[in-house]
Structure formats: structure tokens, C-alpha cells
Amino acid sequence: MMVSSKGRYALTVMVDIARNAGDNYVSLADIAERENLSMKYLESIISILNKGGLLVSARGKNGGYKLAREPREYNISEILLLTEGSLAPVNCIMQEGVQCDKAANCSTLPLWAGLDKVIDKYLGGITLEDVIEGNRKKILGDYCDKCATL
């Protein structure tokens, strides 16, 4: 599994909006400036997040975007799944189940299925609020002994 720039930037946008919106809307131009992202690329990402129901939009002078829910109600998995489509570590394992004719005899399938569950559990257990607050203990957990210095 490799998260694309679209997925990384979608998460960055969600964090930016959560930090800066409050009860107001955040403009695309402000996000682009703060995060040093191209407006054109940002528009495509915002469109996905908005159509996916993660954001609320408003037009006009004070328009822009804000979160549809509280940051604690979003998990990282749902944001990445919306933009990436799948977080499966290999092509034969997708969200709909195993997509391989050789699955019945594949000796490595259990390994990939287990990794898929670890990824889902890990990203599903971290909220947007955890990222915003820098909850490194929860984010790193037991997954990274050497990461304590990050």
C-alpha cells in the first residue's frame, strides 16, 4: 500500500480546515496559501471530500469549507479510503473481499489479509482530532519503538 499525494493532501486539507474553521468557513485560497498547494489540485481534492460528505461548503463572500462533523468523529481510514479507493497492501485483496482466482491455493494470501486488517485497525483507530492534537502516543502506539524521538 502506498498512499498517493491525493490521499496525503486530502488529510492535510482536513487538518487545515479543522484547525482554522471554528464556526466559519475556510476559503480554498487560504488553504492553498497555508499548505503551499496548487489551487487546481486542491480543487479536485476538495471536490472529492465535499461529494463524500466529509465537508460542508458555502458560496459567497464568507464562503468556503468546514467539517461536516467534529474532528473526533472522523477516522483517518475513512478520509484515505475516500481519496484512495482502497488501502489494501496488494491488488488481490480489496475492500469487497479477495479478487483472485488463485486464492484457494495461495500460501501468501493469509499474510496479505492479516496486513490489510492491521492497516484498517491502525488507521481506523486514529481520529482527525488525534492528528490535530499531535497525540503521538496514540498515533505511534506500539508500532514504532524507534519513533519516540519524532
Domain at 41, CATH number? 1.10.10.10
Q: Tell me whether residue 80 is in a domain.
A: no
Residue closest to 14 by CA, chosen among 77, 92, 105, 99: 77
| Domain that includes residue 144, residue range | 87-149
Instruction: Indicate the average pLDDT of the chain.
Output: 87
CA separation for the pair 78, 120 (Å, rounded)? 10
Q: DSSP assignment, residue 127?
A: B
Q: Cell numbers at residue 72, please? A: 473526533
Q: Cell numbers at residue 114, please? A: 492479516
The whole-number pLDDT of residue 36 equals 93
The whole-number pLDDT of residue 148 equals 52
> Mean pLDDT across the stretch 82-87?
91
- Residue 78: pLDDT over 80: yes
Both 55 and 101 in one domain: the answer is no
Both 35 and 63 in one domain: the answer is yes
> Mean pLDDT across the stretch 63-74?
95
| pTM (two decimals) | 0.85
CB 67 within 8 Å of CB 18: yes
* Residue 140 confidence class, pLDDT cut points 50, 70, 90: confident
CA separation for the pair 58, 40 (Å, rounded)? 19
Q: Tell me whether residue 75 is in a domain.
A: no
Both 54 and 95 in one domain: the answer is no
Q: How many domains does the chain have?
A: 2
Q: Tell me whether residue 78 is in a domain.
A: no
Q: DSSP assignment, residue 114?
A: H
Q: Tell me whether residue 51 is in a domain.
A: yes
Q: Tell me whether residue 73 is in a domain.
A: no
Both 112 and 143 in one domain: the answer is yes
Q: Tell me whether residue 101 is in a domain.
A: yes
- Residue 52: pLDDT over 80: yes
Both 132 and 92 in one domain: the answer is yes
Both 58 and 94 in one domain: the answer is no
CA separation for the pair 70, 61 (Å, rounded)? 24
